[in-house]
Structure 1
Amino acid sequence: MLSKLTNWFDTRRREKALRTYAINDALWQATLDGLPFLAYLDAADLVRLRELTSLFLAHKEFTTAHQLELTDQIAVAIAVQASLPVLNLSLDLYKGWVGVTVYPGEFIIRKTVEDEDGVVHEVEHDASGEAWEGGPVLLSWEDAQMTDGRDAYNVVIHEFAHKIDMLNGEADGHPPLFRRWHAPLDAQAWADVFDHAYDQFCDKVDAVPERRWTRFERESLIDPYAADHPSEFFAVCSEALFVKPQAFEAEYPQLYRLLARYYRQDPARVGALAASDT
């Protein structure tokens, strides 16, 4: 009886959220027009994505900084891109925090870091996005609009991939694997593919002579920044999976299949998901 009552309340809350945060047709179409990489989704997927976006808006609190006006356009555009990775998973992967803060453009991040000798330093750097463990996601609206698909860049997907990675502790490129979605994929199978791909990519970046660095940055599908840490490799490859899936699958087929199985989506339409995974 208690289970039935709980399900009833959950259904009522969901229905209320979908009504309260409904996205009108004009805004929805304008949002899709600005995100051409969503073209791989069929009509049924887009219906589910629209509902998930409304639920995301119901559960997260948007704020802005530096006098940026918060509009429905901003909130919906970010919410759609944040919802895409969990379309076939669950918004539960974004539980435990509520804040999304949007800046007009790049912003300054200040951190306290300890070097190898134990000396503590105060450092600051420009950022287009930042995900805090247990805290908010910070995004540059200017960067969040760079969605024409000319390269694999997508700051929203990147930062929300970090949030997923943080579910089982500090982001390390090994996101949590859930039996109901990811079996028979396990930690060892993930490491066999992901860690090997990361090591190979780092070797590739290290081998680039200084005189060719600018050209390499321009021509590489995966941003060389991904070599900084396994967590960045996971986030950057997540961008590539959704934004440039055909190119990503062609250049990194094993890694593509791994991430396609993880997110339970196959944007390149190459049959990367086994029947047991769908």
Structure 2
Amino acid sequence: MLQQLKSWRRRRVLRRHAIADPLWDELAAALPVLQGLDAGERERLRELTTLFLHDKEFYGARGFEVTPAMALHVAVQACLLILNLELDLYRDWSTVILYPDTFVAPREETDEAGLVHSSRHELAGESWDGGPVVLSWADAAPGASPHGPGTNVVIHEFAHKLDMRTGSANGLPPLHRGMAVEAWSEIFTAAFEQLLRQVGQGRETLVDPYAAEDPAEFFAVASEYFFEAPAVLRHEFPQVYRQLALYYRQDPALRAEPPEGAA
């Protein structure tokens, strides 16, 4: 009975809140990350995006006006991560907040002596455990890539949300049956330590060095590259790429390859 009610609600939302064709077509053309999706994937993504927009509320900070196109732009990328997963992975929170530009967030850290240190950080995005996703529109807008090719603040913050399904973000999201936690941990730890050494030695890296902050940031940055620059991630960290392909149940590198016979 419960499943029937959920199916009925889903059909009603999709019927009553369908995304207008012109708005959808404009968005699909503006986002390279959606290129290569087949017709079935595009339709599934459209349905997930419709349901996401119905379930979540978007607010503008500092008087910023969030337009339907802005909300759609964020929602479709959030749903790209769960294209072959479940919308329920985004349950237990309800709000997306957009700032016009970067925002300042206070931080408190306790050192080994028990002293509390306060600081303020300028951010382009933030995910709260059980709370909202906060984004700078200047960094999330179409064409924005403030930290170079392969970076995407929307994908980054929603990857954190998936990571948080096991509790606090630690770089280990809830894995599917058949995926080994030991293999994931070994592969991601080795890749993280490799990047940490490269950054520590002052070497130039193909992947955003912010990934070397901690394992949670490594997972989020790796997810950015998985979708935005899959060939780079597959070249630099092939085993990480394979684990993410298993987790997200997608292969963006394959989608990005030209069809056979193409010039």
TM-score (norm 1): 0.87
Of 68, 71, 81, the match for 2:77: 81
State the match for 2:155 in structure 1.
157
Give, as a single letter, the amino acid of the residue that structure 2 aligns with 1:63: Y
Q: Is residue 208 from structure 1 mapped to residue 202 from structure 2 by the alignment? A: yes
Q: 1:123 to 1:146 in 2, by over 3 A?
A: farther
Distance 2:15 2:62 in 1: 31
Q: Is residue 222 from structure 1 mapped to residue 207 from structure 2 by the alignment? A: yes
Q: Is residue 42 from structure 1 mapped to residue 38 from structure 2 by the alignment? A: yes
Gaps of at least 5 residues in structure 2 are 256-263
Q: Is residue 187 from structure 1 mapped to residue 181 from structure 2 by the alignment? A: yes
CA contact (8 A) 1:151 1:244 kept: yes
Gaps of at least 5 residues in structure 1 are 210-215, 271-278
Q: CA deviation at 1:120?
A: 0.7
Distance 1:114 1:90 in 2: 37
Distance 2:218 2:185 in 1: 13
Distance 1:199 1:8 in 2: 48
Question: Root-mean-square deviation (CA), in Å?
Answer: 1.5
Give, as a single letter, the amino acid of the residue that structure 1 aligns with 2:224: E
Distance 1:55 1:113 in 2: 38
Q: CA deviation at 1:148?
A: 6.5
Q: 1:13 to 1:108 in 2, by over 3 A?
A: same
Distance 1:147 1:170 in 2: 31
CA contact (8 A) 1:18 1:51 kept: yes
Give, as a single letter, the amino acid of the residue that structure 1 aligns with 2:5: F
Higher mean alpha-carbon deviation, 236-245 vs 221-230, is at 221-230
Q: 1:264 to 1:136 in 2, by over 3 A?
A: same
CA contact (8 A) 1:34 1:148 kept: no
Q: Deviations over 1:157-198 (max 9, x none)?
A: 00000011111111111111132xxx1x12101112111111
Distance 1:6 1:146 in 2: 39
TM-score (norm 2): 0.92
CA contact (8 A) 2:140 2:153 kept: yes
CA contact (8 A) 2:108 2:117 kept: yes
CA contact (8 A) 2:30 2:142 kept: no
Q: Deviations over 1:130-167 (max 9, x none)?
A: 00111111001111115467601100100000011111
CA contact (8 A) 2:163 2:170 kept: yes
Question: Superposed, which structure 2 residues align to 1:33-182 within 5 Å?
Answer: 33-147=29-143, 151-179=149-177
Q: CA deviation at 1:266?
A: 0.2
Q: CA deviation at 1:111?
A: 1.9
Q: CA deviation at 1:207?
A: 1.1
State the match for 2:259 in structure 1.
none
CA contact (8 A) 2:160 2:216 kept: yes
SS, match of residue 253 in structure 2: coil
Q: CA deviation at 1:12?
A: 1.2
SS, match of residue 113 in structure 1: strand
Distance 1:137 1:47 in 2: 25
Identical-residue share of aligned pairs (%): 48
State the match for 1:10 in structure 2.
6
Q: Is residue 231 from structure 1 mapped to residue 216 from structure 2 by the alignment? A: yes
Give, as a single letter, the amino acid of the residue that structure 2 aligns with 1:259: L
Q: How many residues align?
A: 253
Give, as a single letter, the amino acid of the residue that structure 2 aligns with 1:105: D
Give, as a single letter, the amino acid of the residue that structure 2 aligns with 1:188: E
Distance 1:115 1:248 in 2: 35
SS, match of residue 268 in structure 1: helix
